Amino acid sequence: MSKTWRPATQLVHGGSLRSQYGETSEAIYLTQGFVYESAEAAEARFKGETEGYIYARYGSPTNDMFEKRMCALEGAEEARATASGMAAVTAAILCQVQAGDHIVAARALFGSCRWVVETLAPKYGIECTLVDGRHLENWEKAIRPNTKVFFLESPTNPTLEVIDIAGVARLANQIGAKVVVDNVFATPIFQKPLELGAHIVVYSATKHIDGQGRSLGGVILSDTEWVNENLQDYYRHTGPAMSPFTAWTLLKGLETLPLRVKQQTENASKIADFLADQPKVAKVIYPGRKDHPQADIVAKQMKGGSTLVAIELKGGKEAAFALQNALDIVKISNNLGDAKSLITHPATTTHKNLTDEARAELGISGGTVRLSAGIEDTDDLIEDFAQALAKVNA
Ligand SMILES: *Cc1c(COP(=O)(O)O)cnc(C)c1O
């Protein structure tokens, strides 16, 4: 593996551990444990004097390949694979705080992420302040003497707000706090939070990294020092480890990630432009468009637009439901990053647990739908939207 390889090459070859059989495709090592040549060898392994695996909850060869490939892509020193994106988020946050500490998080978070910081963390005496993350002064005002972690996603779900990651990292560094970025919506192809100054990056690999609707998975990436001091023991002893079978499907997913994200982004941007001109559409929010409210920050920190589009219909919930029901190729599903185009109505699905007021703060109305563009033919998707919109009563 060469450090100078560009992402598309890393994603096909990075991290490969070829066995004595010389297999082309990475092997799946479905084993819980490992055997030692002698009692002395076992002792040395446990003491950390020799390299090698001990138990699959700690690490195993197929997972190792996935973790190394993710490190190569992200420019991180260490990675730990987890059974789901939420296992990654929960571990990344809880492993570094204790009772009496304070977290500042952007209020626009994936629903389960918001539950972890807003509801779970306070049960263990960890305080949390939610802020409108679009404005740096809100992060600064929320800082307390015990603030240890800043947590954000950018672009956000579902209204694709953008947060200045480098700005938040500067504030965190002034007080010795760590910035955790959930980089799912941006994908590792378009945004590199570690280069922007963030300390820890987490993914739900369930989304673009698998990208084909097969597996749940997650990954946490950071530097060796942070992993050794914070994550290592938490990860080994609480058991969020990924199945080696999942690691294998995700290795296959990574091989085609740049191709899929490119086609999804092209589809998303063309659909966004098409919908922005339609009379039944009040507004389209797309990070790749000049009319995105934070187009300047998008240009500063993202290499591409997005595979997602937020669409606001003039006719409210009735129009949003009619559009979804009339779409043929685009399926109704709350997942995202898939090869198949998927659409969802956040107010009645992913964000149904929020109060009306909290939804309004995030810009989610009855007429809001979120599209995750797939890799289908662009013209087929635009034709699908055209025929479906014709069936919506304005
Ligand atoms: C899906 C998602 C998660 C949770 O991931 P799972 O794999 O479903 O556990 C976390 N954050 C964001 C932004 C997501 O889209």
Question: What is residue 329's three-state secondary structure?
Answer: coil
Residue 217 CA: which ligand 1 atom is closest? 7
**Based on the domain organization, do 238 and 296 belong to the same domain?**
no
Residue ending a domain, among 255, 284, 300, is 255
Contact 92, 180 (CB under 8 A): yes
Q: What is the mean pLDDT of the chain?
A: 96
**Based on the domain organization, do 87 and 135 belong to the same domain?**
yes
Query: Which of 182, 183, 207 should be mutated for ligand 1, with most atoms under 8 A from CB?
Result: 207
**Based on the domain organization, do 124 and 183 belong to the same domain?**
yes
Question: Does 281 map to a domain?
Answer: yes
Question: Does 2 map to a domain?
Answer: no
* Helices 316-326 and 378-390: angle between axes, nearest 10 degrees: 130
Q: What is the distance in A from the centroid of ligand 1 to the CA of 44?
A: 38
Q: What is the CATH number of the domain that holds 385?
A: 3.90.1150.10
Residue nearest atom 11 in ligand 1 by C-alpha distance: 110
154-178 pLDDT tens trace: 999 999 999 999 999 999 999 999 9
**Based on the domain organization, do 63 and 192 belong to the same domain?**
yes
Question: Does 137 map to a domain?
Answer: yes
Residue 87 CA: which ligand 1 atom is closest? 9
State residue 372's pLDDT score. Answer: 98
**Based on the domain organization, do 197 and 280 belong to the same domain?**
no
Domain that holds residue 13: 7-255
**Based on the domain organization, do 264 and 205 belong to the same domain?**
no
Q: How many domains does the chain have?
A: 2
Contact 351, 334 (CB under 8 A): no
Look up residue 7 and give its two tokens. 């992402």
**Based on the domain organization, do 359 and 266 belong to the same domain?**
yes
Angle, CA of 245, 248 and 249, to the nearest 5°: 90
Q: What is the distance in A from the centroid of ligand 1 to the CA of 85?
A: 5
**φ, ψ at 313 (rounded to 5°):** -90, 145
**Based on the domain organization, do 183 and 198 belong to the same domain?**
yes
183-215 pLDDT tens trace: 999 999 999 999 999 999 999 999 999 999 999
CA quadruple 167, 229, 73, 290: dihedral, nearest 10: -20
In this structure, the residues whose C-beta lies within 6 A of any atom of ligand 1 are 84-86, 89, 110, 112-113, 153, 157, 182, 184-185, 204, 206-207, 216, 218
**Based on the domain organization, do 82 and 156 belong to the same domain?**
yes
Q: What is the CATH number of the domain that holds 39?
A: 3.40.640.10
Query: Which of 154, 162, 206, 208 should be mutated for ligand 1, with most atoms under 8 A from CB?
Result: 206
Question: Does 308 map to a domain?
Answer: yes
Task: Determine the average pLDDT of the residues in 141-155.
Answer: 98
Residue ending a domain, among 255, 286, 319, is 255
Contact 149, 182 (CB under 8 A): no
Q: What is the distance in A from the centroid of ligand 1 to the CA of 86?
A: 6
Residue ending a domain, among 255, 275, 291, is 255
- pLDDT above 90 for 394: no
**This prediction's pTM:** 0.97
